[in-house]
Amino acid sequence: MTFSVKPLLTGEKTVLRPFTADDADTMWEIIGDPEVVHFTFPANGELTLERLRSWYGSRSEQPDRLDLAVTDRTTGELVGEVVLFEWDPDSRSCTFRTLVGPRGRGRGLGTEATSLIVGHGFSHLGLHRIQLEVYGDNHRARRVYEKVGFVVEGVRREAMTRDGEWIDEVLMAVLDREWAALSSTAR
């Protein structure tokens, strides 16, 4: 098993491809989108366009993680990212995260991109478990994850505050045998 090979994964609606430094400008816009900020993180003072160029330009060199650009198959437009990271070779597990900008939402691109990378993780990388954390109020993302086969394993109640409100963190995962049991229509 290796994360060194950065594949090109093609679905009906999306193409997942390795990042390049040229993707930084679009990712800068996506990371700054109010909904992305709301459900991920506010950009700190250390995040600059130059740092993003360096970050995305180095993604193909990382042997312990897989960062792929989510693009609209029809237009080629970059709309987000999917990532498998925090690889634990002993337990054959890793963590998943994604973000999709406004031009990629509401069209099934995020669902297909999630399904493509999760499928790749199980069928080509030999993973046993893929886990994630999602904020309890991120209903759109939770629906996507459930459609793809992730199940809730637990909730960290009131784990953080946002705008003076307590927010839960929901822990979800999918196992290789659960993925294998899903019909292709369920994905």
For residues 10 and 34, give the distance between their C-alpha atoms in angstroms, rounded to a whole number: 29
Reply yes or no on whether the pLDDT at 186 is more than 90. no
pLDDT bucket at 81, cuts 50 / 70 / 90: very high
- Three-state DSSP at 180 gives helix
Residue 14: both structure tokens together: 């999306």
Residue 120 has pLDDT above 80, yes or no: yes
For residue 112, the model assigns a pLDDT of 97
Confidence (pTM): 0.92
Higher pLDDT, 88 or 44: 88
The amino acid at 41: F
Q: How far apart are CA 69 and CA 84, in angstroms?
A: 12
- 149 pLDDT higher than 90: yes
For residues 130 and 107, what is the distance between their CA atoms, to the nearest angstrom? 24
In which residue are the tokens 């950009």 written?
Answer: 43
Cα 110 to the center of its chain, rounded Å: 9
Question: What percent of the chain has pLDDT above 70?
Answer: 94
- Distances in Å between the alpha carbon of 33 and those of 51, 59, 84? 18, 22, 22
Please tell me the least confidently modeled range out of 32-41, 87-96, 140-149, 166-175. 32-41
Q: What is the pLDDT of residues 23-42, one digit of tens each?
A: 999 999 999 888 888 888 66
